[in-house]
Amino acid sequence: MWNTFKYTILELVRMPGVLVWALAFPLILSTVFMMMFGPLDDQAEIDPIPLVVVNPADDVDGQSFQAFLDALSDDEDGEPLFAITYAPNAEEALALVEENMTGESPCVGYVQLSEGTPDVHVTSVSDLTGMEQLKTSVLIMAMDNYVANAAMIRDLMSGNPSLLAQPDMAETLASMTEPIEATVRTTVTANQPKESVRFYFALLGMAALFGGTLGMIAFQRLKPNTSSLGARRALGATSHGRTVTATVGASWTITFACLCVTYLYMRYVAGVDFGGRDGACLLTTAIAALTATALGCAISAIPKVPESGKSGILTGIVCFASLFAGLYGEPTMELADMISANLPALDYVNPAVQISQAFYSIMYYDSLAPMAGHLVILLVMALVLFALSAQSLRRQRYASL
């Protein structure tokens, strides 16, 4: 049995065409996704806005404005709003802005305090992208807020200067100028949602099912009437049941190994966040590999179809199942969401959807119960597929070999 297991692995590994679909194709597609979605994910995260400020004068207005700038550029939560560069005069400030017009995070303008009021000089709107225009709006809003608060405090003090003598006046002014927090920032999921990870999860579903090619070829070689290797094994001393078990184990081992390589590539090279639950992810890949092996075994049991035809059938099933997992772009992702909402029963018979949803559950749910539900469905699929191929796996009599 051990020799059958070992030599089946060696035989499958030596087939380059098989490993292209089970290993090379998922890695190549992961690299393509990384190049496509990496810039989009970076744009979704707002970095501190580059800003040039002319050094304010050392008077009351200048000190107040400097304190305001320090608060914006040194946030207690470690997320400052602005990344400020100071310049001695307006000419040098403009020069710094022009120098930083190109790059990943261009400077949107400069600010100069004039008679207690910050003058905002922004870059031409036609020269800015959508994200830079948003940053410009944030800058203008922040300076407008400073002007409004400064005017309110100035009017209050001019009407009743004795308020400055009160010991708790500083705290009162601070509370008056703080923004009203009508909402509370909270986290619904354990990990920050990213639209791009759904495509990686769908790719894992496709990669797992393509591993069924290994099972299909291994069981084709097991049949005495389709290969010389199968004929020799049929005449050997090892029982048929032990040979079938070793073949299933060898096919599953290679499929699982290919999926692990793909998972590790996504995890550490593509930077896909799986929520830190590596154990649950490896369990999912193991069960997905078993389902793929069962699928390949079931397709190999189709009678009167050559191996090339069975390979085409498997490829068609995998590509069609991946369509409803949303692998082929935003329109197919919307189609997958629509089917899940209106016809959820179709998801229960689609292994690609169940695999991708299992990874989705691992990342976004606190409990592992949703993942367990998807894995149970995959195990049921594997049992059904093995049952369908049971007749083909039984020892049979042949007139000649």
* Each residue's pLDDT tens digit, 248-285: 999 999 999 999 999 999 999 988 888 888 999 999 99
- Containing structural domain, residue 294: 1-41+194-399
Which of the 8 DSSP states describes residue 216?
H
pLDDT of amino acid 191: 64
Closest CA to 208 of 14, 49, 22: 22
| CA R_g for the chain | 32
Rounded alpha-carbon distances, angstroms, from residue 323 to 22, 199, 249, 341: 18, 11, 29, 16
pTM: 0.71
Residue partners of 226: CB distance under 8 A and separation at least 6: 220, 307
What percent of the chain has a predicted confidence (pLDDT) above 90? Answer: 31
Query: Which of 96-105, 125-134, 172-181 has the highest average model confidence (pLDDT)?
Result: 96-105
Asked if residue 6 belongs to a domain, the reply is: yes
Same structural domain, 173 and 200: no
| Amino acid sitting at position 133 | Q
Same structural domain, 270 and 378: yes
Same structural domain, 343 and 266: yes
Same structural domain, 158 and 280: no
pLDDT of amino acid 207: 94
State the total domains in the chain. 2
Q: Tell me the HSE value of 290 on the side-chain side, using a 13 A CA sphere.
A: 17
Q: If DSSP codes are grouped into helix, strand and coil, which group holds residue 119?
A: strand
Q: Phi/psi at 343 (nearest 5 deg)?
A: -130, 65
Cα 204 from chain centroid?
A: 11
Question: Does the pLDDT value for residue 166 go beyond 70?
Answer: no
Same structural domain, 222 and 370: yes
How does strand 49-54 pair with strand 82-87? parallel
Cα–Cα distance measured from residue 396 to residue 196, given in angstroms and rounded to the nearest whole number: 49
Which of the 8 DSSP states describes residue 205?
H
Using the 3D structure, point to which of 115, 146, 177 is the last residue of a domain.
177
